[in-house]
Amino acid sequence: MSKKTVSLVLGSGGARGLAHIGIIRYLEENDYEIKSISGCSIGALVGGFHAAGVLHTYEEWLKQIDTLEMLKLLDFKGSGGIVSGNKLMQKLQDLLGDHLIESLDIKFTAVCTDIEAEKEVWINSGSLLSAIRASISLPLFFTPFITPSGKKLVDGGVLNPVPIAPTFHDDTDLTISVNLGAEAAPDMPIKKRKKSDTPIRQKLQHYLKTLSLPDTFIKEDNMYGIANKSFETLQGALARMKLAAYPSDIEIDIPRNLCNTFDFDKAEELIAYGYNLCKKRTDL
């Protein structure tokens, strides 16, 4: 029996996107062949590693990294964003290697936003690492990615958090989309910390204090936190609109309250959540 071919759409949503890894693992184990990936933000990162055939290296690193090592990757010296992202991208390059998108065995598109032209940008050629960097540029947190022509690119989720359109002309059996901004669920198996207890948030607050910013920006219900929550709310609304207009064959919904945006130290639980969610479905 031949495998079902899949166009996989991986949405944006911070640490919730680690569930993408579990979903990919489930599909691989159950006679699905991923032929095409369209992703934005964390979806572009996970999808890019899979398209390059090295998702296992990223997965193992996530499971082994401790909080201190994670914090060392945050270089709070950005202009146009709190974090420049240079240390993180160097680590990702070590894990990923050098790849051209057009040379990958799996068709891949990273979706970004041109912040000045106010339009969606699809990157489907050139450096895979650069495409990932552009797509994960969360506004306020990461500095924008500047292209050789001077375009400023930020997180694709600003305009399209579940980018189905790049898969429209794929010759595959199924399109499967993963929405990380789905309706909140009452009972989550992954225990959430208070936001102020998140290691990355603690370091962020410490850095903000060094900038002599007003208390309203630094305290737990700060302006950055409100902006981040507002961005996630907007993403959820955009995702619902996009999926209603362009429904996929199978939609996998990840509750938006699964974890906090920066809970990357919960990798093992989040990966397992994605895998087990697929396992419970009757249409996969």
Task: Name the packing angle between helices 86-96 and 128-135 (round to 10°).
Answer: 140
Least confident of 38-42, 197-201, 274-278, 280-284: 197-201
DSSP string, the chain: -PPEEEEEEE---GGGGGHHHHHHHHHHHTTEEEEEEEEETHHHHHHHHHHTT-HHHHHHHHHH--HHHHHHT-----SSEEE--HHHHHHHHHHH---BGGGSSSEEEEEEEETTTTEEEEE-SSBHHHHHHHHT--TEEEPPEEPTT--EEEEGGGT-SS--GGGTT---SEEEEEEEEEPPPS--SSPPPPGGG-HHHHHHHHHHHHTT--HHHHSTT-HHHHHHHHHHHHHHHHHHHHHHHS--SEEEEEETTSS-TT-GGGHHHHHHHHHHHHHH-S--
Amino acid 214: pLDDT = 47
Cα 5 from Cα 54, distance rounded (Å): 20
Amino acid 218: pLDDT = 43
Catalytic, 187? Answer: no
Higher pLDDT, 209 or 171: 171
Residue 107 has a CB neighbour count (10 Å cut-off) of 19
* Structural domains of the chain sorted by starting position, each given as residue range(s) with its CATH number in brackets: 4-280 (3.40.1090.10)
Higher pLDDT, 191 or 248: 248
For residue 14, is it left (φ>0), alpha (ψ between -120 and 50) or beta? left
Higher pLDDT, 251 or 71: 251
Catalytic, 155? Answer: yes
Say which of 12, 36, 38, 41 is annotated catalytic.
Answer: 41
Say which of 114, 155, 263, 265 is annotated catalytic.
Answer: 155
Amino acid 141: pLDDT = 83
Amino acid 216: pLDDT = 47
86 bridge partner residues: none
Higher pLDDT, 259 or 21: 21
Region 144-149 average pLDDT = 95
Q: Convert the pLDDT of each residue in 154-166 to its tens digit.
A: 999 999 999 999 9
pLDDT-derived band at 74, boundaries 50, 70, 90:
confident
Cα 238 from Cα 157, distance rounded (Å): 9
Taking 50 as the threshold, does the pLDDT of residue 151 lie above it? yes
Q: Determine contact, residues 217/223, Cβ cutoff 8 Å.
A: yes
pLDDT-above-90 percentage for the chain: 68
Q: Determine contact, residues 19/265, Cβ cutoff 8 Å.
A: no
pTM for the full model? 0.89
Amino acid 80: pLDDT = 67
Amino acid 223: pLDDT = 63
Q: Convert the pLDDT of each residue in 107-131 to its tens digit.
A: 999 999 999 999 999 999 999 999 9
Amino acid 217: pLDDT = 43
pLDDT-derived band at 192, boundaries 50, 70, 90:
low
